[in-house]
A and B are shown apart, each in its own frame.
Chain A
Amino acid sequence: MTAYLLKRLVIAAITLVVASMVVFAVLEVLPGDPARLMLGMNASADQVALLRNQMGLDAPLILRYLHWVGGLVTLDFGRSYTYSVPVIDLVRERLVVSLPLALMALTLSTAIAIPVGLFAASRQGRAGDAIAMGTAQLGVAVPNFWFALMLIYLFAVWLRLVPAGGFPGWSAGAWPALKALLLPAVALALPQAAILARVTRSALIEVMNEDYIRTARAKGLPYRAVLWRHALRNAMIPVLTILGLQFAFLLAGTIIIENVFYLPGLGRLVFQAITQRDLIVVESVVMLLVAAVIIVNLLVDMSYALADPRLRGRQ
């Protein structure tokens, strides 16, 4: 077990280092000089050179990389070119919106997908299964921004239950803040839930054909009880895998959804930073997202061992 965890940890660390190199390299080769951008088109070459020197942009590549990584490790992400504030402050401000949003969406999609998958699997080939899976197919096909607009129209414009966009801040109280995040979370979660429900269903159906399911039935357990007690945990491994992979798509989705709902989250920050060539912000936020994906997948790897005792003894 410890060997398994250690190996996963080492792999995660290596992935993180490689990812940081890629992120740094890609942004280095992108056109656009931040110093020139900050000073405007009329600035003289000398002024630009001076600023480049101040910003450390003229140092050799490897030094800049090491400086940047060193900063990341000590949580000193540098200063934003456009906002002229420490990036860490920007990120912290935005994270309190994006992190709850991602967690809500993740919880919501799991909470919808697993019961739907169980329902469809228990009615395999019957009307209930067809309806559930047909709806899921629709959920996979519909883009989340369109779905978000429909939600706004229905719940904000028509029923006036929730605000159409914006974020009052946590200082306005937990409930108003959560209410503002509710629609975006649903819009993010539903397409994910649709995929996850399909995976859950097919994993369950495959497991239900296993010999040990017959053993459980021969014990006198009704079909539903077998599905819950024996099939679900065995079907969790593929479901967890997809859940981990989907987390990356969830983060990508927040960039779009935060723009649709005018939420001051990380997604909008990175979007604005890209249009303004605020490289240092882009690098930091992208690295943060990469780290989040790697950590979530590390958690998924660990949960495999919880779900399947056979993995505990292995390296």
Chain B
Amino acid sequence: MSLLEIEKLSLTIGATRILRGVDLSVAPGEIMGLVGESGSGKSMTALTAMRLLPHAARATGRVTFDGIDILKATEDQMCALRGDDIGMVFQEPMTALNPVKTIGEQVAEGIRWHRRVSRAEAEERARKMLDRVGLPVAEFPLSRYPHELSGGQRQRVVIAIACALDPKLLIADEPTTALDVVLQAQILDLLRDLVAEKRMGLLLISHDLAVVTEMADRITILRGGEVMEAGETAPILSGQSHPYTRQLAQASMHVPARAKTRAANGVAPLLEVEGLRRDYAGRRTSLFARGPVIRAVDDVSLSIAPGQSVALVGRSGCGKSTLARMILALDKPTAGTIRFRGETITGKTEAQLRPARRDMQVVFQDPYGSFDPRQRVETLVAEPLHVLEKQPSPAERREKVRQALHEVGLAVSDMDKYPHEFSGGQRQRLSIARAIITRPKLIVADEPVSALDVSIRAQVLDLFAELNQKLGIAYIFITHDLTVARAMSDEVLVMHAGRIVERGKTGQVLDHPQSEAASALVAAAPDLHRAIARRMQEQG
């Protein structure tokens, strides 16, 4: 007997068909993994089960939850179900909580609404629930506001809200995508325990095949609104008989073909960082006093040879982005020196930095937020050219843009388009084109593929590898994703609490981590091979 039964669900929003005949079921105590790339209709499937679809959406088919026909139920019936029998956890913990209400109020609200109990009773229950999700009252009183908590802690609050009334079904839509790997492992453990403890059904939505394989009893693979394959996790992933499943599995383990590092002996280093430190003034605690200084980067030294690719890995908040910003001369170090191409760049004025800026470029994580939506590709890609000694003529400029677009695999005709006309992967190609147009010696890439789907991610990684070979660009990859580090780098630097705690050849560090921080990252990183092997044992 299924708890949630979705049969032949089709969904249109306006003239766009989002889902076509989706079948899916979740039994009590079962974890169903729903996998697919962005736009495949995963979230819309979940929102249909909650009936929280946008106004313009029209659904046909049958959705039954616990004997209730969801598509035909009244809004009052749905309100009674939501939060009581069905709980939902969302992707973005930073924005999923109301900033002006305390966490206690937000957890207790659903309890009071559904159970009509007194405030004190609801708060008592909220306290227990927060304690259960790992936020003990002694440290996290109910009076805390969301902005006083970290991302991982906020996601725990969201889980507490969703599970406060022991729902029969929990829907988790990409619950860990915004978190670093160590937090991801903790949150997944928590979800697994809660499901076992309360015999909830869990519909786990993710784009990450490894995460779903580790968690789910059965999986459903969605593409373009259609179910590609569904069934027990172990046979589907070990067999990989369906071409799309195979494509997804291969893409998520993709390692670009890269020539081994050129021997860098005797060559002058491209970048040298010595004793770098960055302090931030502490938060003002009263009118005349500040809290202790926050040391974001603490005595970091490193050196990168021309053409070398280095991964800087660490958990969120470990200081990797601050370090990168200082290397890019976008932030001033408190102490220490940075030498680029043999010249010291610390303490220089913006005019003196110009030649150095030409040789270093950056690629950001979010391919959507890093372009002005009102400018054409030609203008956007040509932007870094203003650091050149001699400004190119319009014709030369166009030629340079054409060349850069060609190198990243985009069409010349794309030059006159606007950013919204491109997909996420294409936009990341645009970011790369913008980065290579000045022919830099170093590119700093801050989580360059973490916002991309696996198949797109494989292509973008290939592009990075190819440009590394062809143009001899050195990379600093900032990432918490060890698959990216393994695929792209010769050397790994592991950062923890502002310090570099471990460094060495990529394979060496990732296979035999020595430091505690590196071991934690390696242990928490989802790994498809390992997950399949474990599933095979469990499911036979």
CB of B79 within 8 A of chain A? yes
| Nearest CB of chain A from residue B108's CB, rounded to whole Å | 11
CB of B161 within 8 A of chain A? yes
A259 CA / B162 CA spacing, docked (Å)? 60
Residues of A within 8 A of B90 (CB): 211, 214-215, 218
Q: A221-B109, A230-B98 are in contact. List 4 more A-B contacts (CB 8 A).
A: A2-B286, A214-B52, A217-B82, A220-B114
In the bound complex, do residue A217 and residue B52 qualify as a contact, i.e. CB atoms below 8 Å apart? Answer: yes
Query: Which residues on A are within 8 Å of B, measured CB to CB?
Result: 2-3, 6, 210-212, 214-222, 225, 229-230, 233-234, 307-310, 313, 315
Residues of B within 8 A of A309 (CB): 99-100, 145, 147
In the bound complex, do residue A219 and residue B82 qualify as a contact, i.e. CB atoms below 8 Å apart? Answer: yes
Q: Size of chain B's interface in residues, with CB distance under 8 A?
A: 35
Q: Majority SS of interface residues in chain A? A: helix
| Nearest CB of chain B from residue A203's CB, rounded to whole Å | 13
Residues of A within 8 A of B99 (CB): 212, 234, 308-310
CB of B284 within 8 A of chain A? yes
Give per-residue flags for B74-100: 1 if the beta carbon is below 8 A from chain A beta carbons, else 0. Answer: 011001111110011010100111111
In the bound complex, do residue B113 and residue A215 qualify as a contact, i.e. CB atoms below 8 Å apart? Answer: no
**B459-489 interface with A by 8 A CB criterion:** none
Contact of B52 among A218, A222, A308, A310 (CB under 8 A): A218
A229 nearest CB neighbor, chain B only: B109
In the bound complex, do residue B284 and residue A307 qualify as a contact, i.e. CB atoms below 8 Å apart? Answer: no
In the bound complex, do residue B113 and residue A219 qualify as a contact, i.e. CB atoms below 8 Å apart? Answer: yes
A214 CA / B92 CA spacing, docked (Å)? 11
B80 nearest CB neighbor, chain A only: A220
In the bound complex, do residue A210 and residue B284 qualify as a contact, i.e. CB atoms below 8 Å apart? Answer: no
| Nearest CB of chain B from residue A304's CB, rounded to whole Å | 11
A222 CA / B110 CA spacing, docked (Å)? 11
Q: Majority SS of interface residues in chain B? A: mixed
CB of B328 within 8 A of chain A? no
| Nearest CB of chain A from residue B231's CB, rounded to whole Å | 29
Residues of B within 8 A of A211 (CB): 90, 92, 95-96
A308 CA / B101 CA spacing, docked (Å)? 9
Residues of A within 8 A of B106 (CB): 215
In the bound complex, do residue B95 and residue A212 qualify as a contact, i.e. CB atoms below 8 Å apart? Answer: yes
CB of B158 within 8 A of chain A? yes
A186 CA / B88 CA spacing, docked (Å)? 47
A210 CA / B90 CA spacing, docked (Å)? 12
Residues of A within 8 A of B92 (CB): 211
Residues of A within 8 A of B161 (CB): 215, 219
A215 CA / B90 CA spacing, docked (Å)? 8
| Nearest CB of chain A from residue B488's CB, rounded to whole Å | 32
In the bound complex, do residue B287 and residue A234 qualify as a contact, i.e. CB atoms below 8 Å apart? Answer: no
| Nearest CB of chain B from residue A91's CB, rounded to whole Å | 36
CB of B17 within 8 A of chain A? no
A315 CA / B283 CA spacing, docked (Å)? 9
Residues of A within 8 A of B147 (CB): 309-310
In the bound complex, do residue B284 and residue A212 qualify as a contact, i.e. CB atoms below 8 Å apart? Answer: no
A219 CA / B90 CA spacing, docked (Å)? 12
In the bound complex, do residue A234 and residue B52 qualify as a contact, i.e. CB atoms below 8 Å apart? Answer: no
CB of B50 within 8 A of chain A? yes
A230 CA / B286 CA spacing, docked (Å)? 31
| Nearest CB of chain A from residue B453's CB, rounded to whole Å | 21
In the bound complex, do residue B83 and residue A218 qualify as a contact, i.e. CB atoms below 8 Å apart? Answer: yes
Residues of A within 8 A of B84 (CB): 220
Q: List 30 A-B contacts (CB under 8 A).
A: A2-B286, A2-B287, A3-B284, A6-B287, A211-B90, A211-B96, A212-B96, A212-B97, A212-B98, A214-B52, A215-B158, A217-B52, A218-B52, A219-B109, A219-B161, A220-B79, A220-B81, A220-B113, A221-B79, A222-B79, A225-B113, A229-B109, A230-B98, A233-B100, A234-B98, A234-B99, A234-B100, A310-B147, A313-B283, A315-B284
Residues of B within 8 A of A307 (CB): 100
A214 CA / B54 CA spacing, docked (Å)? 11
A211 CA / B97 CA spacing, docked (Å)? 7
B111 nearest CB neighbor, chain A only: A219
| Nearest CB of chain A from residue B283's CB, rounded to whole Å | 7
A217 CA / B78 CA spacing, docked (Å)? 10
Residues of A within 8 A of B100 (CB): 233-234, 307-309
